[in-house]
Structure 1
């Protein structure tokens, strides 16, 4: 009789549950919206988990009695003090098997690093960086964005782009096509109205507007190009801190990249890579080519002592065929 493992990615903007058997074959899945418990609250977090688990088991044609363990990568799970309440919510949601609970960035590391250790950088709505050394020791950034001097996801990139627009408006900087791009996006009639509206909350530039900055950079706008390069350097700097915490400078390891911001390609990744390689020249950058939830499945398997090295490529290949890169 087959045994199964669950992996849930409970992210800041979307969530995904996967069910796989002991051979690494994908059996079921389910999708949902945001799963960060700091944002949606523990009650809704519990309901979300219950729904995702039920639907992923249903698509697999199995029940919870056939599940041996479950892994959870949770956005917003940043401190040990949060663990008891999260575990209680997972149990209340009906997950009564052995549970592995990690920050969602470590889940991406488990999916993307062939050796199971190294550094992972995620950049979507915001950003985070975590790492593990060969002994399992963990390193981290704070994970709370510009308030703590950490960047850059889409939110931080847009902040940087708006600074260029403000500098152009006040003649402290050069003109930038970002002004006209943001005017068209918001419908504001003038630069002055745009800035006033953004300051007073009449207009908004959500994270989904970040590709506008990349488009301006590709069109040759110097302010946009510098904003993107700044984001890359900042993300690399997060990794440098983790590398120093774990003393990885002289080792060969993978730096795993995942999140929608990396769809920008080399204009973002090159300054990131230069920053990281200056500290750890033997690292290899890997763009995760499957949903991070695969890492949660692998962590669940590893919690029971399974060797997941031969299973990982099977799981990632099947998940990539369904969803593509992270």
Structure 2
């Protein structure tokens, strides 16, 4: 393929998967590939950045470009890169690997914000496998959470929903909790006969804990079907999201300012209405000037937009790429 414009990459690295788009500064999508999630807290930053560099090379191969094709800007929005020092470390290592002439590294929540609030400010929540949120003031000041899991008070995302659903199903069987359709709905995902068998398989290492994430859609489906226990889990997630949003609005002193609130990630962009409706109702009471909306494009669109903006691409190119991303999906997946 012959490309006359400069190349950019946009990367949305979640805890369970990473999307990378390769585009040019005219807004043409050249490749969209998907790989494993970004987990530097478990695997180390070297392994994480090496995998991102490999994903970039695969994107160039899919596009029919040479492996050393020059990339002007790389926008890397990565889960589990939560502190400024981690952003600097990731940027230094990505630069050393030559992924782009200029690299921008941010937490993945800001990809959701960029994708859903083009002016670049507001509050964004990512609820995928895990959960996080960040806020940016119109003047550029930002606020975020430490986001280290249970030890920093975090609960939410698909894995938390799945674990809560499994626990509630076990409690329903041993008499500690109310009856729930989750007892019947969950075991089949792992081709097992009971939720107790699933729990035992996890405790013995036969099923990785992260694999429980696959149960989250079943919990949402049970909630949509009217199961009281499943609904309670989904509403608890909504309450946590509202707590995050209102805390950020308060810290940034935006409670009295009309502020976009962008909701993204798999548990918010799954088509079920119970969770976003609950969030809207709670925010209407607690932060009436907040304007919540569920993101209507994959979060990688925000990472790609940041890369184009940094490269000086025109607004027409940015709109073109966003529209293309909204209407397509990854052309290559690996390692999932």
Q: How far apart, in 2, do the equivalents of 1:150 and 1:60 lie? A: 40
What is the aligned partner in structure 2 of residue 219 from structure 1?
Answer: 225
Residue 30 of structure 2, aligned match among 27, 48, 55: 27
Matched length: 323
Q: How far apart, in 2, do the equivalents of 1:69 and 1:183 lie? A: 45
Residues 175-254 of structure 1: matches in 2 within 5 Å? 175-185=179-189, 206-254=212-260
What is the aligned partner in structure 2 of residue 105 from structure 1?
Answer: 109
Contact persistence 1:179–1:191 (CA under 8 A):
yes
Contact persistence 2:158–2:213 (CA under 8 A):
yes
Residue 49 of structure 1, aligned match among 52, 65, 68: 52
Contact persistence 2:71–2:99 (CA under 8 A):
no
Q: Deviations over 1:195-234 (max 9, x none)?
A: 6666565666610111111222223211111111111121
What is the aligned partner in structure 2 of residue 69 from structure 1?
Answer: 73
What is the aligned partner in structure 2 of residue 139 from structure 1?
Answer: 143
Q: Which runs of 5+ in 1 are unaligned?
A: none
Is structure 2 residue 12 aligned with structure 1 residue 9? yes
Q: How far apart, in 1, do the equivalents of 2:254 and 2:299 lie? A: 23
Contact persistence 1:73–1:296 (CA under 8 A):
yes
Q: Deviations over 1:287-306 (max 9, x none)?
A: 222222222222233335x3
Residue 309 of structure 1 and its aligned partner are, at CA, apart by 4.8
Query: Given the superposition, is the C-alpha separation of residues 182 and 248 from structure 1 closer, same or farther in structure 2, using an over 3 Å criterion?
Result: same
Query: Given the superposition, is the C-alpha separation of residues 283 and 190 from structure 1 closer, same or farther in structure 2, using an over 3 Å criterion?
Result: closer
Q: Which runs of 5+ in 2 are unaligned?
A: 331-336
Is structure 2 residue 188 aligned with structure 1 residue 151? no
Query: Given the superposition, is the C-alpha separation of residues 201 and 280 from structure 1 closer, same or farther in structure 2, using an over 3 Å criterion?
Result: same
Query: Given the superposition, is the C-alpha separation of residues 323 and 189 from structure 1 closer, same or farther in structure 2, using an over 3 Å criterion?
Result: closer
Residue 42 of structure 1 and its aligned partner are, at CA, apart by 2.8
1:322 is paired with a residue whose SS is: coil
Which deviates more from structure 2 when the two are superposed, residues 310-319 or residues 196-205? Answer: 196-205
Contact persistence 2:166–2:195 (CA under 8 A):
no
Q: How far apart, in 1, do the equivalents of 2:109 and 2:186 lie? A: 31
Q: How far apart, in 2, do the equivalents of 1:140 and 1:257 lie? A: 15
What is the aligned partner in structure 1 of residue 334 from structure 2?
Answer: none
Residue 98 of structure 2, aligned match among 85, 89, 94: 94
Q: How far apart, in 1, do the equivalents of 2:123 and 2:6 lie? A: 31
Q: TM-score, normalised by structure 1?
A: 0.87
Which deviates more from structure 2 when the two are superposed, residues 68-77 or residues 186-195? Answer: 186-195
Which deviates more from structure 2 when the two are superposed, residues 51-60 or residues 117-126? Answer: 51-60
Residue 300 of structure 1, aligned match among 307, 317, 328: 307
Contact persistence 2:163–2:212 (CA under 8 A):
no
Contact persistence 1:290–1:323 (CA under 8 A):
no
1:319 is paired with a residue whose SS is: helix
Q: How far apart, in 2, do the equivalents of 1:299 and 1:30 lie? A: 18
Query: Given the superposition, is the C-alpha separation of residues 119 and 192 from structure 1 closer, same or farther in structure 2, using an over 3 Å criterion?
Result: closer
